[in-house]
Amino acid sequence: MLYKSTRGDEHLKSSSEAIITGLACDRGLFVPLSIPKLPFTIAEGIKMNYQEVATKIINAFFDDFTETEIEDCVNKAYDEKFDDIRIVPVVKKGKGWFLELYHGKTAAFKDMALSILPYLLKASLKKEKVQDRILILTATSGDTGKAALEGFSGVSGTEIVVFYPEEGVSLIQKMQMVTQEGGNTHVFSVKGNFDDAQKGVKDIFNDEAFKEELKEKNIRLSSANSINIGRLVPQVSYYVYGYLHLVKEGAVKSGEKVNVVVPTGNFGNILAAYYASLMGIPVNMFICASNENKVLTDFLNTGSYDTRREFHVTNSPSMDILVSSNLERLLYLLSNEDGKTIRDLMERLDSEKHYRVDEKIRANLSKFYGGFCTEEETNKTIREMFLENNYLIDTHTAVAYKVYLDYLKETGDETPTLVASTASAYKFAESVALALGLPKEDDEYLYESAIFKMTGVKVPQGLKGLRDKKILHNKTLSISRMKEEVRRI
């Protein structure tokens, strides 16, 4: 399996080269020449545990590795770091089947990919006989940062730099990052929103002179964001696993379709579900859930992608994004792999802040439903989900479930539905506590104990004791200073 750029560059890469490089030289994203078919039958798959499914799925995309090499990466990633032996429990509550993706060390779905990416990168470096040091650059809207820091902390031959928006993450997300230990970890808040931080990282990647400067010091840039194919592919596994679980439970028969609901800002998580469908998982509708930064909802409903709008800071901050990087990979597929069209669209987005797709692409978006959820609706959904179903969800999962209920009311489509549950409620403890009707606290850390007292849901181990940890990273940068800080590191 070779990898090519979404923007038409003709240089093909092996999966190990694509993982190391992160971003294609023409600024495009790496995609496989073809999407592999499921490497097992549904009957075979329902007998597998999560690790076995992940090994088969990842190896189907990254077949320049042996299955033993991938299995080694998988077993090191999905081990006792997860607080549930199933890795991804699938729970029936209300009208949906919740794919619980937050049982890893940092209590968010990013652990599913970022627990394995360091092992894939190390194996790739060995395979390609690369001796250079790797500098991982990552922008985060909250969860990617900590998961990446946790994954790469102490990994020899790497440095990791994370940039997060100064005012755009929850207290828990911030404390997880600024208390991160490890001599190779570097964390900075930036003056701006996530889109500003993400653009700053992309500008560094696209600065050829700077990359040459690093090359002279035997340093290569790479990424832990979902622009890296090594981050995206592992996410495909949990949608395959989720479908297998529904077949095993008798919710659907083998071959029957399901719906998939994903709260998303950067589009990577829902793109992974689409890749799973191209592999052979039968999906009826992809329900794309946004918060008030509803650029994706508007795009799916009109074919026009327009970032010329107010940016909202919401209580689902990991979705406070206006430039959805992974949408580029979907558009590439829906344009019949027309690199020139994609390059033109992305250049227009850079220069004019908007673009409109042609009717051919828009027609191919028919399997995607776009909806959004306000903060008030988010809070109401959290409260009702707990009171009616005794099930505690975070703000992002609430966005997904509310949009799903809207879809259900609008269409009457009773197809069994997987809902991506992307984070522990405790990562957004203040917002969740207030949504549950608990009183306002002067000390934000008291919300954890208040939620536990009300619900009995345990605080994830990785979130305990954050207030007592030493702050090790406390520098704030302007966007224009990001490159200079990377140079200093």
Q: Does position 167 have pLDDT exceeding 90, yes or no?
A: no
Mean pLDDT, rounded, for 324-332: 97
Q: What is the mean pLDDT of residues 271-284?
A: 98
Q: Is the pLDDT of residue 193 over 90?
A: yes
> Average pLDDT, stretch 296-306?
98
Q: What is the mean pLDDT of residues 345-374?
A: 97
Residue 52 falls within a domain, yes or no?
no
Residue 175: partners with Cβ closer than 8 Å, 6 or more residues away: 466, 467, 469
Predicted pLDDT at 123? 95
How many CB atoms lie under 10 A from the CB of residue 315?
23
Mean pLDDT, rounded, for 330-353: 97
Q: Answer yes or no: is 295 within a domain.
A: yes
Q: How confident is the model at residue 129 (pLDDT cuts 50, 70, 90)?
A: very high
Q: What was the pLDDT predicted at 84?
A: 96
pLDDT value at residue 141: 86
Tell me what pLDDT residue 446 has. Answer: 95
pLDDT at 171 (0 to 100): 92
**CATH number of 404's domain:** 3.40.50.1100
Q: What is the mean pLDDT of residues 301-319?
A: 95
Q: How far apart are CA 443 and CA 448, in angstroms?
A: 10
Please tell me the distance from the alpha carbon of residue 396 to that of residue 289, in angstroms, as a whole number. Answer: 9
Instruction: Tokens for 326, please give them.
Output: 């992974």
The predicted structure's pLDDT at residue 300: 98
| Predicted local confidence at residue 65, as pLDDT | 97
- Residue (of 367, 14, 311, 334) closest to 168 by Cα position: 311
Q: What is the pLDDT of residue 79?
A: 96
DSSP strand pairing (354-356 vs 304-306): antiparallel
Domain-embedded: residue 365? yes
pLDDT tens, residue by residue, 71-111: 999 999 999 999 999 999 999 999 999 999 999 999 999 99
* In the predicted structure, residue 153 carries a pLDDT above the cut 90: yes
Q: For the chain, report the end-to-end CA distance as a whole number of angstroms.
A: 35
246-281 in b/e form (b: 16+ CB < 10 A) is bbeeebbeeeeebbbbbbbbbbbbbbbbbbbbebbb
3-state secondary structure of 472: coil
Instruction: Specify the pLDDT at position 226.
Output: 86
Mean pLDDT for the chain overall: 96
The pLDDT-based confidence of 143 (bands split at 50, 70, 90) is confident
Q: Is residue 177 part of a domain?
A: no
Residue 396 inside a domain? The answer is: yes
pLDDT at 225: 84
What's the confidence (pLDDT) of residue 168? 84
Residue with tokens 């959004």: 372
What pLDDT does residue 77 have? 96
User: Residue 69 domain-assigned?
Assistant: no
423-440: pLDDT as tens digits: 999 999 999 999 999 999
Q: ∠34-296-327 over CA atoms, to 5°? A: 25
- The continuous run of DSSP H or E covering 58 comes out as helix 50-61
What are the backbone dihedrals phi and psi of residue 159, each rounded to the nearest 5 degrees, phi first? Answer: -125, 145
Burial (CB count <10 Å: 0-12, 13-18, 19+), residue 54: buried
- Count of domains in the chain? 1
Say if residue 247's pLDDT is above 90: yes
According to DSSP, the β-strands at 133-139 and 158-165 are parallel
Helix or strand run (H / E) with residue 371: strand 368-372
Sequence-separated (6 or more) residues with CB below 8 Å from residue 126? none
Output the six-digit token pair for 219.
């340093």
Q: Which domain holds residue 430?
A: 90-108+230-458
Q: What is the reported pTM?
A: 0.95
As given in the structure block, the two tokens for residue 336 are: 């019949």
pLDDT at res. 329: 98
Model confidence at 279, pLDDT cuts 50, 70, 90, reads very high
State which H helix or E strand residue 364 sits in.
helix 359-364
pLDDT at 369: 98
Q: What is the pLDDT of residue 259?
A: 98
Domain membership flag for residue 484: no
Asked if residue 328 belongs to a domain, the reply is: yes
Helices (H), 216-358: 229-248, 268-279, 295-302, 327-334, 339-352
